[in-house]
Structure 1
Amino acid sequence: MPLSPPVARVLRHTRAIQVEAFKRDDGLWDLDARITDIKDKEVTLASGVREAGTPLHDLRLRITIDLNLNIVDAEAASDAVPYPGYCDVIGPAYKQLVGLCLMKGFRAGLKERLSGVLGCTHLTELAQVLPTAAIQAYANDVIKTRDGDSDDDLLPNRPFQIDKCHGLRADGPAVEKYYPRWYVKPAAN
């Protein structure tokens, strides 16, 4: 269902976040993430004027992960920043992501290592989307979701995605329909 029609309005700012996942020849995976902020009109910053359509931020973050979602390498680059020579020197700090696991305490570790003046607000915000992006990348490639498996009754373990969101709650109609073996009847009130 789409959003309701908006009232009359004028675009002023566009933030775009993109994550691409790549399976590497060495068995590892790269997640390349990018965040951009673009104004639709000229803006004056303390560092100078930015023309309309020129990125205020164009930041990239690449993490390399193993099959267990552990970060084995990380790098950051800042192609456009509001304060050149200042904002764009923080990239090496993102090596501190190495050793974190995307599925076990990642966001807390990210905050501990790179929040506030320890990192770039925008790169750290961008990093927060990486756990779910990795799961989407791994689904049906590294992590078997078992969607459409006709022999579900023969498989010993419940599909990992059950109880990870509202739509696939164990006592919900989607699980009852698509994963009947794993459906849990709601408790009577």
Structure 2
Amino acid sequence: MPLPAPTPRQLLHKRVVQCWGYRREDGLWDIEGRLVDTKTYPFPNEDRGGAIQAGEPLHDLWIRLTIDSQCLIQAVEACTDGAPFALCPAITGRYQELVGVRIGPGWSQKLKELFGGTSGCTHMTELLGPVATTFFQTLYGQRYDEEDTKPAAVRRPPPVLNTCHALASDSLVVKNRWPQAYTGSDRETNDHNRPLLEGCIT
């Protein structure tokens, strides 16, 4: 169900973030991300020939992380195809500092340490959030799909157990899919198992 109908309004800005997850033939994983910002009106910009036109990317950023199955980043490629200032692309080389960093707990803090303030590009760093999520969806998603072919009683509990509402260890999802990891009781009713209203509450 889509969002409720809005009040009359005018679109001014659009941000599109896309991510792709690939399994490489050498056993590593490539995760690519792209962030594009556009506006619906032209505005002055000295670094871009005097103006950025409506629909022309204000930001067009790409990054590729090559990661092993232990979540360790082996290689980084980053590029800036569109930016508001001529100086912006000069910072992309700094993202090589991600080589050797492990994606996992503390990821957001590590990004702040490496690229916070003037040490990075705000938008490239923001892109690394969904890129990391896409890595886990790619790596563990395939494992989940393979596990789903097995009987529920022998499926391995996912490493993301207890990281969200649906995957709480006392939820009906866990009871049905990973019964050996279920911690709830058939007699109890908890927030995780209450049916949700479809759509948005208005």
Q: TM-score, normalising length from structure 2?
A: 0.83
**Alignment check: 8 A CA contact 1:78 1:88 kept:** yes
Could you tell me how far 1:146 is from its partner in structure 2? 5.8
Could you tell me how far 1:10 is from its partner in structure 2? 1.3
Cα distance change, pair 161–147 in 1 and its aligned pair in 2 (3 A): farther
1:6 equivalent in structure 2: 6
Which blocks of at least 5 consecutive residues in structure 1 are unaligned? Answer: none
Could you tell me how far 1:147 is from its partner in structure 2? 5.4
CA–CA distance in structure 2, aligned partners of residues 2 and 188 of structure 1: 30
Higher relative contact order (CA 8 A, sep 6+): 2
1:123 equivalent in structure 2: 124
CA–CA distance in structure 1, aligned partners of residues 118 and 77 of structure 2: 18
CA–CA distance in structure 1, aligned partners of residues 154 and 171 of structure 2: 22
Amino acid at match of 1:73: A
2:52 equivalent in structure 1: 50
CA–CA distance in structure 2, aligned partners of residues 185 and 149 of structure 1: 25
CA deviations on 1:144-176 (whole Å, 9 max, x unpaired) are: 466534423235x42323212111111122222
Amino acid at match of 2:103: L
**Alignment check: 8 A CA contact 2:36 2:57 kept:** yes
More helix by proportion, 1 or 2?
Answer: 2
1:169 equivalent in structure 2: 168
CA–CA distance in structure 2, aligned partners of residues 147 and 5 of structure 1: 40
| SS across alignment from 1:139 | helix
| SS across alignment from 1:168 | coil
Could you tell me how far 1:2 is from its partner in structure 2? 2.6
Of residues 58, 62, 80 in structure 2, which corresponds to 1:60? 62
CA–CA distance in structure 2, aligned partners of residues 82 and 66 of structure 1: 34
Q: How many residues align?
A: 186
Amino acid at match of 2:28: L
CA deviations on 1:10-69 (whole Å, 9 max, x unpaired) are: 111110111111211211111111101000111123533111110000011111100111
Cα distance change, pair 26–110 in 1 and its aligned pair in 2 (3 A): same
Could you tell me how far 1:178 is from its partner in structure 2? 3.1
Q: TM-score, normalising length from structure 1?
A: 0.88
Amino acid at match of 1:165: C
Which blocks of at least 5 consecutive residues in structure 2 are unaligned? Answer: 191-202
CA–CA distance in structure 1, aligned partners of residues 79 and 18 of structure 2: 15
Q: 1:138 aligned to 2:139?
A: yes
2:193 equivalent in structure 1: none
Amino acid at match of 2:75: D
**Alignment check: 8 A CA contact 2:175 2:181 kept:** yes
Could you tell me how far 1:130 is from its partner in structure 2? 2.2
